[in-house]
């Protein structure tokens, strides 16, 4: 199984300019004037001209002012601050400045067509930091832990001796260890 990403936009030329400048994507193929393939991410991106007001899904009409979406793109980068500056120069709108999070650094933006996206740089723990934070209380024990499932404190890292399946689906210890 594989996936691709389709992004509806009102103007494919403007969207091509934005996505190539903001993210370093390159044009793969052009299918006429209203349909472009962009390459450079793990999945191909297809920009599709769909005019505002046309039927999108169900009874909902397409609109390109900023809107909430239950699905958005997280673009993983090496340096969030550098990526934010690049995206802003290309025309992105900053909605939440870069901030540190347990799993790394994140900023929230929107493209010029109302689609939200995040720029994200993982630290060494990545999303595993969220898993550990959810399990570990301030006492250093997993919430609801029995004496046999208490965590060990090793330096600044807390490690659970039991399976991680409850929160992140991995067996303990994770391949490559846990930091």
Would you state the pLDDT for residue 151? 36
Please, are residues 35 and 12 in contact by the beta-carbon 8 Å criterion?
A: yes
Task: State pLDDT tens for residues 147-173.
Answer: 433 333 333 333 443 334 444 455 444
**Quick check: 125 pLDDT over 70?**
yes
User: How many Å from the N-terminal Cα to the C-terminal Cα in the chain?
Assistant: 32
Count other C-beta atoms under 10 Å from residue 112's C-beta: 18
Would you state the pLDDT for residue 146? 39
Q: What residues pair up with 176 in beta bridges, in sequence order?
A: none
Task: State pLDDT tens for residues 4-28.
Answer: 999 999 999 999 999 999 999 999 9
Would you state the pLDDT for residue 178? 47
b/e map 160-171, b = 16+ CB within 10 Å: bebebeebeeee
Q: Record the pTM.
A: 0.71
Would you state the pLDDT for residue 40? 97
Would you state the pLDDT for residue 64? 87
HSE-CB for 51 with a 13 A CA cutoff: 2
Task: State pLDDT tens for residues 29-81.
Answer: 999 999 999 999 999 999 999 998 888 888 888 888 888 888 889 999 999 99
Domains of the chain, start order: 5-52+63-122 (3.10.180.10), 140-168 (no CATH)
């Amino acid at each position: 199984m594989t996936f691709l990403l389709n992004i509806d936009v009102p103007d494919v030329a403007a969207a091509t300019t934005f996505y190539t400048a903001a993210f370093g994507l390159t044009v793969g193929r052009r299918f006429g004037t209203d349909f472009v393939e962009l390459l450079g991410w793990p999945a191909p991106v297809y920009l599709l001209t769909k005019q505002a007001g046309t039927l999108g899904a169900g009874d909902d009409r397409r609109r390109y002012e900023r809107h909430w979406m239950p699905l958005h793109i997280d673009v993983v980068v090496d340096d969030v601050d550098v990526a934010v500056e690049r995206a802003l120069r290309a025309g992105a709108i900053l909605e939440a400045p870069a901030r540190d999070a347990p799993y790394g650094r994140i900023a929230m933006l929107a493209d010029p067509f109302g689609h939200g996206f995040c720029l994200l740089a993982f630290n060494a723990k990545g999303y595993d930091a969220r898993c550990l934070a959810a399990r570990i209380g301030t006492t250093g024990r997993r919430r609801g832990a029995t004496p046999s499932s208490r965590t060990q404190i090793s330096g600044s890292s807390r490690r659970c001796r039991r399976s991680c399946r409850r929160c992140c689906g991995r067996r303990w210890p994770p391949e490559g260890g846990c930091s």
